[in-house]
Chains A and B, each alone.
Chain A
Amino acid sequence: GAGVSQTPSNKVTEKGKYVELRCDPISGHTALYWYRQSLGQGPEFLIYFQGTGAADDSGLPNDRFFAVRPEGSVSTLKIQRTERGDSAVYLCASSRRTGGLYGYTFGSGTRLTVV
């Protein structure tokens, strides 16, 4: 597609449940990133994929969070045993190459609400 697609756009879940958030990057973009944005704050880095492998997952807050990108395109961010503090907008971005001066293209995000 023309842009980065994230589904669902909104997700409401109960505390303790498991959720999956999906990201479809721009075709041909090898680098993929997940960020999380809390209300009134700038996005914070979670994890970065180069191809199929997670090259840097240092931003994942704890082991309840996990992300995969099995075929080097679509990525899924998985959150186990959700907590109310996980409520945020989860943003995915992709770029043609890693680093350098290439601008990243972000999706519109998935707004996760844990009740």
Chain B
Amino acid sequence: DAKTTQPNSMESNEEEPVHLPCNHSTISGTDYIHWYRQLPSQGPEYVIHGLTSNVNNRMASLAIAEDRKSSTLILHRATLRDAAVYYCILRDDVSPSGGSNYKLTFGKGTLLTVNP
């Protein structure tokens, strides 16, 4: 899977929007952009994914650059419960061997701190 680059850490204030960036300049045409987050003492939790178009769900929005070399996870109103490590992951639907691609390759992610 192609590599992603995220800031090590970010801070936000409660009830303000948060924009978490991710660079993926070597993304291929079939790579989907996935976001997971990991709250303290928990396993990772799926947040959102997209391919080319911006996506919205109940947790967040995903804004994808037109050239797909970067994306931004948007939390519209941060709460204290959103404090977590956020991982941006690229995953092709098909593995290099031609079968289903089931692996998630995690980097170090961005540690988001939310201040009250």
Contact = CB atoms under 8 A, between A and B. Distances in A.
Interface of A: 4, 31, 33, 35, 40-45, 48, 55-56, 91-93, 95, 98-101, 103-109
A104 B46 contact: yes
Contacts of A100: 93, 100
Given A41-B108, A42-B87, A48-B103, 13 more contacts: A4-B43, A43-B44, A43-B104, A44-B106, A45-B103, A92-B43, A98-B100, A99-B93, A99-B101, A99-B102, A103-B46, A104-B44, A108-B42
A19 B82 CA distance: 34
A83 B91 CA distance: 33
B103 A103 contact: no
Secondary structure call for the B interface: loop
B100 A43 contact: no
Interface of B: 32, 34, 41-46, 49, 85, 87, 93-95, 99-109
- Listed from nearest, the 8 A-B pairs whose CB atoms lie closest are A42-B106, A106-B43, A99-B100, A103-B46, A98-B100, A99-B102, A99-B101, A91-B43
